[in-house]
Amino acid sequence: MRGGGRLRALWRTSTWTWAPESEREAGEAIVRNLWLHWFPNKVTVRSASWGYSLWLGTAAASLFLILLVTGMLLMFFYVPSVEQAYWSMKDIRFAVSFGWLLRNQHRWAAHLMVGTTFLHMARVFVTGAYRGPRSLNWLVGIALLLLTLLLSFTGYLLPWDQLAYWAVTVGTNIAREAPVVGETLRFLLLGGSTIGQATLLRFYVLHVFVLPAAVLVLFAYHMWRVRKDGGLAAIEPLRRARAQAAGPPAPTKSYSLFGVTRGATIQTLVSTDLEEEDVAFSSPELVRRVVLVFLLVFNVTLLLSVLFNAPLEEAANPALTPNPAKAPWYFLWLQELVASTTVRIGGFSVSGGFVGGILVPGVLLLLAAAWPFLDQSPRGTEGVWLPRERRRQNLVFGLVALAMIALIIVSLYFRGPSWGFYWPWQPWPQEPTRL
Amino acid sequence: MRRPFSRLERFDFPALVVLSLLFFALVIAGVAREERSDWRPIQTRFRGVLEQNGQVGAARAFVPGVRQLWIPQLGRVDRCVTCHLGYEWSGTLPADLPAPLAPHPPLPYLGAHPFEEFGCTSCHAGQGFATATEAAHGHVEHWDEPLLDAALAGRYGLTAAELMQMRCNGCHRRDESTPGMETIDRGKVLFRKNKCLVCHMVEGRGGLKAPNLTYIGDKNPELFDFSHVTGPRTAFNWHVQHLTHADVVSPGTAMPDFDFEPEEARALALLLLSWRRESFPPRYLPGPPPPAGVAEARPVPAAAPPPQIVGAEAGREVFVTRGCTSCHGVGSGTVIGPDLKGVGARRDADWLRHWLADPAATLRAYPSLRSWPAEYGNIVMPNQNLSSDDIEALVQYLGKL
DSSP state for residue A414 in the 8-state scheme: S
Which residues between 320 and 359 in chain B have a beta carbon less than 8 angstroms from any beta carbon of chain A? none
CA distances from B281 to A79, A172, B71, B74, B126 (A): 24, 38, 11, 8, 21
Which residues between 21 and 60 in chain A have a beta carbon less than 8 angstroms from any beta carbon of chain B? 21-23, 26, 45, 48-51
Nearest CA in chain B to A50: B8
Residue A162 phi, psi (nearest 5) = -60, -40
Question: What would the DSSP string read from start to end of B62-104?
Answer: ---S---EEEGGGTEEEGGGGT-GGGG-BTTB-TT--GGGSPP
CB contact under 8 A, B12 and A289: yes
Q: How far is B153 from chain A (nearest CA, A)?
A: 9
Do A397 and A126 touch, CB atoms closer than 8 A? yes
Question: Is-cis flag, bond preceding B100, omega within 30?
Answer: no
- Distance of alpha carbon B243 from alpha carbon A387, whole angstroms: 75
- Secondary structure (3-state) at A118: helix
Element holding A345 (H helix, E strand): strand A343-345
Q: What is the CA radius of gyration of chain B?
A: 29
**pLDDT tens string A124-137:** 999 999 998 899 99
HSE toward the beta carbon, residue B256, CA cutoff 13 A: 7
- Distance of alpha carbon A95 from alpha carbon A90, whole angstroms: 8
B365: burial class by Cβ within 10 Å (0-12, 13-18, 19+)?
A: buried
Query: Is the ipTM above a cut-off of 0.95?
Result: no
- Global pTM reads 0.81
Give the closest of A94, A298, A313 to B129, CB-based. A94
- Distance of alpha carbon A274 from alpha carbon A278, whole angstroms: 6
Give the closest of B1, B20, B221 to A432, CB-based. B221
- Secondary structure (3-state) at A256: strand
Element holding B13 (H helix, E strand): helix B12-35
- In total, chain B counts a number of residues equal to 401
* A contacts of B153 (beta carbons < 8 Å): none
Three-state secondary structure readout of A280-307? EEHHHHHHHHHHHHHHHHHHHHHHHHHH
Question: Is-cis flag, bond preceding A324, omega within 30?
Answer: yes
Name every residue whose Cβ is closer than 8 Å to that of residue B228 and which is 6 or more positions away in sequence. Answer: B248, B249, B250, B251
- Distance of alpha carbon B135 from alpha carbon B119, whole angstroms: 17
Query: For residue B29, which of A65, A304, A109 has the smallest C-alpha distance?
Result: A304
Q: How far is B132 from chain A (nearest CA, A)?
A: 8
Each residue's pLDDT expressed in tens, for chain B with a length of 401 residues: 445 444 456 788 889 999 999 999 999 999 999 998 899 999 999 999 999 988 888 899 999 999 999 999 998 999 999 999 988 888 888 888 888 999 998 888 888 899 999 999 999 999 999 999 999 999 998 998 999 999 999 999 999 999 999 999 999 999 988 989 999 999 999 999 988 998 899 999 988 888 999 999 999 888 899 999 998 999 999 999 999 988 899 988 888 888 899 999 999 999 999 999 988 998 898 876 555 554 444 444 444 444 556 677 778 777 777 777 777 877 777 777 888 888 888 888 888 888 888 888 888 888 777 777 777 877 788 787 888 888 888 888 888 88
* B contacts of A319 (beta carbons < 8 Å): 220
CB contact under 8 A, B1 and A50: no
B142 Rama class: left (phi>0) / alpha (psi -120 to 50) / beta = left
Helices in B286-358 by DSSP H: which ranges? 294-297, 311-321, 343-346, 349-357
Which residues between 315 and 344 in chain A have a beta carbon less than 8 angstroms from any beta carbon of chain B? 319-320, 323
Residue A217 phi, psi (nearest 5) = -65, -50
- Distance of alpha carbon B176 from alpha carbon B271, whole angstroms: 12
* A contacts of B217 (beta carbons < 8 Å): 434
